[in-house]
Structures are given as structure tokens and as C-alpha cells.
Amino acid sequence: MINVLFAAQADRWEKYEHPLHTAFADLGLKVDLRTDHAPDTVDYIVYAPNSDVQDFTPFTRCKAVLNLWAGVENVVGNHTLTQPLARMVDPGMTRGMIEWVTGHALRHHLGMDRHIRDQNGQWHNYIPPLAQDRRVTILGLGELGTACAQAIAGLGFPVTGWSRSAKKIDGITCLHGADGLKTAMERADILVLLLPKTPATENTLNGETLKFLPTGAFIINPGRGPLIDDDALLAVLDTGHVAHATLDVFRIEPLPPEHPFWAHPRVTVTPHIASETRPVTSAQVIAENVRRGEAGEDFLYLVDRKAGY
Ligand SMILES: NC(=O)c1ccc[n+]([C@@H]2O[C@H](COP(=O)([O-])OP(=O)(O)OC[C@H]3O[C@@H](n4cnc5c(N)ncnc54)[C@H](OP(=O)(O)O)[C@@H]3O)[C@@H](O)[C@H]2O)c1
């Protein structure tokens, strides 16, 4: 019997218990899945960083911690964690992110607000450019950034992506490094942030880099709040250099009611809903990693603890 501890907030258990049982059974794994195993009997932890488990020391025989979230910034620096840490790469979450990013990019591209908000009896026939004439840049070309880049390129937008290491992706102009960032931002009529939060990515958008954006650019941030210096963003929104920012993630969540983003006419706030981990598809990923652990194979989606993602 393989002992798997489900360590996440209570409401998650209801959603994940059945899909996890099904996914383990589908792979022929005999698993005792619970929320309360004795720590020294646990083989794997299915983990959300906001769970009660913050000290991994008592989990002496645990073979891996399998994160339910794509972002690992709240666990990667935990010094009690000596076991391998896998982050979540979930086909369901990827689909959700493609839909959210594409939807918000098209809102800005088509100028939908003019028609949705301005029902004022005036017949202004604004014609948006075709996608081929609107450049999109995606910062972060990992699982989510690449999937969004390909979907957006599939609609006809010229897409540039930026990552830490050099990449080659069909149909996408790939850049990296500091010079690459400047060029990527200069081409960003629409800028999408899908970077992880690490010490190196904090304030990627700051007073200096925001100036690289073309006038009238749109920013869409489903990555993490600290990727942006909030005051620097507010400054370029106030001048109109940046036309609008659609923000799903913030330095403090929930975003405090007094934060200026809420009332700013050029900001759309969404409450960290760009894409959730989906129970059925993510349970299959977790089960596959448990199968690998038991077979002595490499785990999927291991976090590089030094790089922080
Ligand atoms: N809002 C939501 O609902 C939601 C949902 C899921 C995820 N997210 C966020 O989305 C992020 C991305 O997820 P993912 O699965 O796509 O992550 P990922 O596969 O780990 O990809 C991260 C990308 O960022 C690049 N990167 C990292 N550090 C960099 C640096 N210093 N300079 C330039 N590029 C850098 C990586 O470059 P390399 O390719 O060279 O390694 C990689 O391309 C997550 O970390 C999380 O914060 C948000």
C-alpha cells in the first residue's frame, strides 16, 4: 500500500478525493489516500503551499512532494523540504490559461469596451486593425507561456516570446536575456506576463522597462503580482503611455479595497482566477508521478530549487 497525504485546504479535499482515487486506480496503484496519515508513514504528499504542513522534517520516508499549483514560490525556499518537489503542469489548467489570455487579448485588440460601455446613442464606427497588425509579446515561454503564444499566433497575431534560456518555437520569435527583454517589450502592443515569481523576475516591469513599451500598449498579467512595480505601472497608466492593464495577480491577495488599482479607469482587476488547477486532469498528473516514483523512474516537472521555479 502506498500512503499519500492530501495536504491542502479543506474545501479542496471534496473536489480532489474522487478524481485522485480514480486516477490511482486507472494506473493500478494501491493507494491509501488521506488527509491525516502519521507523518513518518507518508510516501507522497499532494501539496498546496497554504496547507497546515509547513515543516517537512517529520515526513522521514516521503519520496516526493507533488504541488497542486503551478507557482512554487511559497514552498521552494522551505529549508525543511529535502525531498524532490514537482510543480503542477495540468493540461486542464493550460487550456484555461489559453482561454483567459486569449479572451482578454481580444477584448483589447477589438476595442470591445467601446461598444460594451459606450451605449450612448452615438454611432462611432471604430474599425480595429487585423491581428496581423497587432504585435503580442509574452514574457515567459514555459508550459503556459508557450501554449498561449501558440494559440495567439494561431489567430494571426505576430508573437514574440521571452525566456531565461534561448528557445526555438515554430511560429514564435524567441528572445532571451536583458537585450532580448528590451526588444520584446518594444514590440509589445499587447504584453502578457507568464513568468514565475523568483528573485530574478521581481519588478521585471519597472520604471525603466515600462518605457520600452509602445505608446498605447495593453498589459495582461496572469503571472504573479510582484513581476510589476505597482507605482511604476500606475505612473504609465496615468500618462496614458499604457492604455490599460488587466491584472489577475497582486502583491497582496485579496487585493486590499483601498488599493488604487480597483478604482483606476485603465485597470481591470480579476481575482486570481485566470486558470485554476482542474481536479480530473491534475489528478492524472499526480498519479503518473506516484507511478514513476514507485517504478524508480524520474519524476515529471521537478522544480529547479536554485532557479526557484
Ligand atoms: N493566475 C493564475 O491563475 C495562474 C495559474 C497558473 C500559473 N500562474 C503563474 O504562471 C507562471 C508560469 O507558469 P508555467 O507553468 O508556464 O511556468 P514554467 O513552465 O516554469 O515557465 C516559466 C517561464 O519563465 C521563464 N523565466 C523564469 N525566470 C526567468 C528570468 N529570470 N528571465 C526570463 N525568463 C524567465 C522560464 O524560462 P526558461 O524556459 O528559460 O526556463 C520559462 O520560460 C507560474 O509560475 C505562476 O506564477 C498563474
Q: What is the pLDDT of residues 176-188, one digit of tens each?
A: 998 999 999 999 9
The yes-or-no verdict on residue 81 having pLDDT over 90 is yes
Q: What is the pLDDT of residue 7?
A: 98
Rounded distance, CA 143 to CA 247, Å?
A: 20
Q: What is the pLDDT of residue 182?
A: 97
Report the percentage of the chain scoring pLDDT > 90. Answer: 96
Q: What is the pLDDT of residue 124?
A: 87
Tell me the pLDDT band of 203, cut-offs 50, 70 and 90. very high
Q: What is the pLDDT of residue 258?
A: 98
Question: What is the grid cell recorded at 219?
Answer: 498589459
Tell me the pLDDT band of 173, cut-offs 50, 70 and 90. very high
Work out whether the CA dihedral 184, 186, 191, 193 comes out positive or negative. Answer: positive
Q: For residue range 120-138, what is the model confidence (pLDDT) as tens digits?
A: 899 988 899 999 999 999 9
In sequence order, the β-bridge partners of residue 4 are 33, 44
Sheet holding 31-34, edge to edge: 31-34, 2-7, 44-47, 64-67, 85-86
Distance between Cα 193 and ligand 1 center (Å): 9
Residue range 53-81: average pLDDT? 97
For a mutational test of ligand 1's pocket, the pick from 74, 162, 164, i.e. the residue with the most ligand atoms closer than 8 A to its C-beta, is: 164
Residue range 38-62: average pLDDT? 98
The yes-or-no verdict on residue 118 having pLDDT over 90 is no
Q: For residue 61, how many other CB atoms are within 10 A of its CB?
A: 11
Tell me the pLDDT band of 196, cut-offs 50, 70 and 90. very high
Residues 6 or more apart whose CB falls under 8 angstroms from that of 257 comprise: none
Mapped onto helix, strand or coil, the DSSP state of residue 16 is: helix
Q: Where are the alpha helices (DSSP H) in the chain?
A: 10-26, 91-110, 112-117, 143-154, 177-186, 230-239, 260-263, 279-295
Q: Per the residue annotation, which of 21, 272, 278, 305 is the catalytic one?
A: 272
Rounded distance, CA 266 to CA 76, Å?
A: 34
Distance between Cα 101 and ligand 1 center (Å): 14
Torsion of CA 103, 139, 88, 151, to 10 degrees: 40
Question: What is the grid cell recorded at 32?
Answer: 491509501
Q: What is the pLDDT of residue 257?
A: 98
DSSP 111-173: THHHHHH--SS------PPPGGGS-EEEE--SHHHHHHHHHHHHTT--EEEEESS---BTTBE
In sequence order, the β-bridge partners of residue 66 are 46, 86
163 φ, ψ (degrees, to nearest 5): -145, 180
Radius of gyration (Cα) for the chain, nearest Å?
Answer: 21
Is the shortest distance between the CB of 163 and ligand 1 below 6 Å?
yes
Nearest CA to ligand 1 atom 15: 143
Lowest mean pLDDT among 62-76, 106-120, 127-141: 106-120
Q: For residue range 265-298, what is the model confidence (pLDDT) as tens digits?
A: 999 999 999 999 999 999 999 999 999 999 999 9
Question: What is the grid cell recorded at 261?
Answer: 488599482
* 45, 81 contact by CB (below 8 A): no
Is the shortest distance between the CB of 143 and ligand 1 below 6 Å?
yes
* 51, 8 contact by CB (below 8 A): yes
Cell 486590499 sits on residue: 256
Q: Prior bond to 58 cis, omega within 30?
A: no
The verdict on whether 224 is a catalytic residue reads: yes
Nearest CA to ligand 1 atom 8: 223
DSSP 70: S
- Tell me the pLDDT of the chain averaged across its residues: 97
The yes-or-no verdict on residue 235 having pLDDT over 90 is yes
237-274 b/e with 16+ CB inside 10 Å = b? beeeebbbbbbbbbbeeebeeebebeebebbbbeebeb
Residue range 55-78: average pLDDT? 97
